[in-house]
Amino acid sequence: MTRSCHGVLGSQSQISDANNARPLSGLIQSESSNTIVLALMGGAKETISRSAIKDMKSLDRTLMPDGLEAAITKELMSDLIAFLLGK
């Protein structure tokens, strides 16, 4: 049975895995009717079966560390955004 859970592609989400009881936080990279691929910090990816998801929620925070925008120059921020967008 496929559990009904929806996230927003590219949104920061937290998923509780019913099998391992371990919460995962990351960006929803892709999803199908059976799985969700979560991009984790550090570049790792985790494919989670929808049937294994106990709970999924969007988070109101980002992966960017607090205060980063104040700590770097506009040029570095521009470079960072270009990198994240794959340009």
Residue 42 forms part of a structural domain: yes
pLDDT score at 75: 94
Q: What is the 3-state secondary structure (H, E, C) of the chain?
A: CCCCCCCCCCCEEEEEECCCCEEEEEEEEEECCCEEEEECHHHCEEEEEHHHEEEEEECCCCCCCCCHHHHCCHHHHHHHHHHHCCC
pLDDT (tens digit, 9 = 90+) per residue, 27-85?
A: 788 889 999 888 887 778 888 888 888 877 777 766 677 788 889 999 998 988 888 77
- Domain containing residue 21: CATH number: 2.30.30.100
Of residues 20 and 29, the one with the higher pLDDT is 29
State how far the Cα of 37 lies from the Cα of 46, in Å rounded to an integer: 6
41 found inside a domain: yes
Asked if the structure places residue 68 within a domain, the reply is: no
Average pLDDT value for residue range 10-16? 62
- Total number of domains constituting the chain: 1
Please report whether residue 78 resides in a domain. Answer: no
Phi, psi angle pair for 71, to nearest 5° = -95, -10
Residues of the domain holding 36? 12-62
